[in-house]
Structure 1
Amino acid sequence: MPYLDVLCLANSKKLSGRCIAGIRLDNGQWIRPVSFRDGGCIMSTDYQTSDGNPAQPVKVYSIPFTNRAAKFYHPEDAYYDIKQTWQLIETSTATVTELLNSRLNDSEFLIGNSIDRIPQSEISANKPVPFSLQLISPTNAHFAMSFGKPRLIFYYRDQGYSLAITDSDFLNRHRNITDFPISLARLGYGRPIITVSLGEPFQGAYFKLVAAIMNFP
């Protein structure tokens, strides 16, 4: 696989490292760079960007992919060359918004019901998922805490959801909040969009996770 230009739409917590994912500019498909570490997680020492910062959502990077690493529960996974730099690509807002609009709300697989997980028994090599990443525009979204764990409570197509948040940048920015729940509108998200990702198998299920909370540009 060659260098691919990718619109980053998640850089979230995953095991002891990070889960980075985004949409390819050439075909509009999701791709998730992974390492050979446990669960494919990426450590900060596993990649470098041309501007020296961690990969940031809603920015475009040219990433040196090597070959596919698809799993039946993560078909978007692909290995990358850890020795090569991820090049930050200047991209117009119009290009970014066009790509986002092309993928927003394009399926109900991950957000088809209010349950926050998919049992492992429902997914296998013989019953693979069609995709494990989804971009949606939620309504009435609130940042909440449940038993000390951060969650996003929101509506999508008139269905209510409560999903765990793994977007550590979002959590760091709002770590001093004590009055829960609080709406994303109060936090400055005029038109929030979120990336939902299917997690690694855990306690007999694949959990639906809010991997990124962003403002539509």
Structure 2
Amino acid sequence: MRIICLANSYKHNGRCIAGIDEAGRWVRPVSSSQKRAIDKETRIIDGSEPQILDVLEIPLHAHGPVDGCQPENKLLKAGQWKKVSRVKPKDLLKYCEDDSVVLHNNLDHVPTSCFRMIPSYGWKSLQLIHSDNVVFEKDENNKAKWRAKFINSKGTALSLRVTDPVSCERLELGENIGKDCLLTVSMAAGWSPDKQTAKRCYKFVAGVVELNSLKQVV
């Protein structure tokens, strides 16, 4: 299957890869491991990590485990990944979904109980957002992490953890990332710190494309 790569983000001891196929549908390749992460041996192409804006050819099954909220998941097949070409940042604008909410609500998470009230055809866990007022700041609760604060075109304000490795590295080096960005927002499967707490599906900024200078942040 051919996809435009829009995320290669931290996920446990591997990566979460996600993109949009030729029909404009979201695809998240997943492994058969419990955490669904893609290991380095699988995803590396000619010695390099897949980059946002790369057009990738990835062997995938037609379906995959939805894990309660992720209909975009497709299980990996055995075989080599290929980089076919690259697209320009402006080519992604048509895929932006400037809904009044970002992935189901205005919070940084969605309670898993919500998905029992939404028909499965209405589920989604990936969304491309265009915002011209993105601000990147250290996470107040964990100074080793970064957050992206932004308002989408419908006025929805969010502050989400950034899991894009290259963006985080740039920020740690003191580089400035412009405010005009495309953000790939990804929602994880349900998680709870203990058995007493209801599970939540947390949202992350899994990919960043800077538009001010049309420089890819990856």
Q: Which bin holds the TM-score, normalised by the shorter protein?
A: 0.7 to 0.9
Counterpart of 1:18?
15
Counterpart of 2:76?
80
Counterpart of 1:161?
158
Structure 1 window deviating more from structure 2 (54-63 vs 104-113): it is: 104-113
Asked if 1:212 corresponds to 2:201, the answer is no
| SS of aligned partner of 2:51 | coil
Higher strand share: 1
Asked if 1:5 corresponds to 2:22, the answer is no
- d(CA) in 2 for partners of 1:63 and 1:19? 14
Give the TM-score normalised by the residue count of structure 1.
0.82
- d(CA) in 1 for partners of 2:109 and 2:149? 15
Contact 1:39-1:200 within 8 A present in 2 as well: no
| SS of aligned partner of 1:10 | strand
- d(CA) in 2 for partners of 1:35 and 1:125? 28
The Cα of 1:81 is off from its aligned counterpart by 2.2
How big is each residue's C-alpha offset from its partner over 1:66-102, in whole Å with a ceiling of 9 and x where there is no partner?
33104141101111223x2211112453xx633x122
The Cα of 1:62 is off from its aligned counterpart by 1.0
| SS of aligned partner of 2:151 | strand
The Cα of 1:192 is off from its aligned counterpart by 0.9
Alignment coverage as a number of residue pairs: 200
Counterpart of 2:96?
104
State the identity as a percent: 28
Counterpart of 2:54?
59
- d(CA) in 2 for partners of 1:61 and 1:170? 21
- d(CA) in 2 for partners of 1:174 and 1:41? 24
Contact 2:53-2:87 within 8 A present in 1 as well: no
Structure 1 segments unaligned to the other structure (5+ residues) = 178-185
1:69 corresponds to which of 52, 55, 64 = 64
| SS of aligned partner of 1:172 | helix
Q: What one-letter code is carried by the residue in structure 1 that aligns with 2:35? A: G
Matches within 5 A, 1:86-125: 86-91=81-86, 93=88, 97-98=90-91, 100-111=92-103, 113-124=105-116
Contact 2:6-2:18 within 8 A present in 1 as well: yes
Q: What one-letter code is carried by the residue in structure 1 that aligns with 2:187? A: L
Contact 1:195-1:213 within 8 A present in 2 as well: yes
- d(CA) in 2 for partners of 1:154 and 1:192? 10
Counterpart of 2:37?
41
Counterpart of 2:181?
192
- d(CA) in 2 for partners of 1:92 and 1:163? 26
- d(CA) in 2 for partners of 1:112 and 1:123? 10
The Cα of 1:111 is off from its aligned counterpart by 4.8
Matches within 5 A, 1:104-183: 104-111=96-103, 113-124=105-116, 127-128=119-120, 129-145=122-138, 146-148=140-142, 149-156=145-152, 157-177=154-174
| SS of aligned partner of 1:174 | helix
The Cα of 1:16 is off from its aligned counterpart by 2.0
RMSD (Å), alpha carbons: 2.2
| SS of aligned partner of 1:28 | coil
Counterpart of 1:181?
none
Q: What one-letter code is carried by the residue in structure 1 that aligns with 2:127? A: Q
How big is each residue's C-alpha offset from its partner over 1:15-50, in whole Å with a ceiling of 9 and x where there is no partner?
22110000012x11110111011221111122332x
Structure 2 segments unaligned to the other structure (5+ residues) = 193-198
Q: What one-letter code is carried by the residue in structure 2 that aligns with 1:65? A: L
Q: What one-letter code is carried by the residue in structure 2 that aligns with 1:207? A: Y
